[in-house]
């Protein structure tokens, strides 16, 4: 089991970083996806709605700040895309090869998941999708929203 005792200061700092990054990304420009940076990492974010644990998701990391409001789209590659593929498989019951390449199958699976979550179906993982999606809940299992 994941022991959260004594972790409050780290978790509070993590939440503050996510909230701070979110505030900056939202206030930049419209449309939000065009203003959001490209995801460049995978991180664990505290699940703050009760039950403890963390959510694992793509993020944009720069220096000491992190935001979940980032984008991934066709042609991207890396660990962040690999994480998106795993999320689509685990939380949305897709059967993608987790190869870190955002190709046509990943885009189609993402569009189906966007439709499921009633967000704009555009095949781009962006801020609106991130806020609507479910992510793997560690160590408790299942999927939860931010």
DSSP 43-65: EEEE--SSS--EEEEEEEEETTE
Query: Could you tell me if residue 1 is inside a domain?
Result: no
Question: Is the pLDDT assigned to residue 124 strictly greater than 60?
Answer: yes
Residue 3 domain flag: no
pLDDT of residue 121: 97
Let me know if residue 13 belongs to a domain.
yes
Confidence of residue 146 (pLDDT cuts 50, 70, 90): confident
Residue 85 pLDDT > 50 = yes
- 107 closest CA partner among 121, 93, 120: 121
Residues in the chain: 146
Residue 39 in domain: yes
Q: What is the pLDDT of residue 34?
A: 57
Highest mean pLDDT among 5-14, 51-60, 102-111: 102-111
> Do 106 and 114 meet the contact criterion of CB atoms below 8 Å apart?
no
Instruction: With respect to residue 123, please indicate whether it lies within any of the assigned structural domains.
Output: yes
Q: What is the extent of the structural domain holding 98?
A: 8-145
Q: Tokens for 103?
A: 């190709």
Give me the CATH number covering residue 119: 1.10.101.10
Tell me how many domains the chain contains.
Answer: 1
Window from 17-21, 32-36, 69-73, 106-110 with minimum mean pLDDT: 17-21
For residue 31, pLDDT beyond 70: no
Residue 2 counted as domain residue: no
Helix axes 79-92, 104-116, angle to 10 degrees: 50
Which residues touch 13 (CB under 8 Å, ≥6 apart)? none
Map residue 3 onto helix, strand or coil: coil
- The token pair at 33 is 């996806």
Instruction: Specify if 24 maps to a domain.
Output: yes
């Amino acid at each position: 089991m994941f022991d959260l005792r004594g972790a409050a200061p780290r978790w509070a700092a993590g939440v503050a970083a996510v909230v701070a990054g979110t505030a900056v990304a939202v206030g930049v420009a419209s449309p939000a996806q065009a203003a959001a940076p490209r995801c460049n990492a995978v991180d664990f974010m505290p699940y703050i709605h009760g039950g403890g644990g963390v959510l694992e998701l793509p993020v944009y990391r720069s220096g000491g700040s992190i935001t979940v409001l980032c984008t991934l789209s066709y042609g991207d590659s890396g660990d962040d895309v690999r994480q998106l593929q795993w999320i689509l498989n685990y939380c949305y019951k897709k059967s993608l090869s987790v190869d870190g390449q955002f190709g046509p199958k990943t885009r189609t699976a993402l569009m189906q998941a966007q439709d499921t979550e009633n967000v704009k179906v555009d095949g781009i993982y962006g801020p609106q999708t991130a806020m609507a999606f479910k992510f793997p809940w560690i160590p408790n299992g299942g999927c939860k929203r931010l």
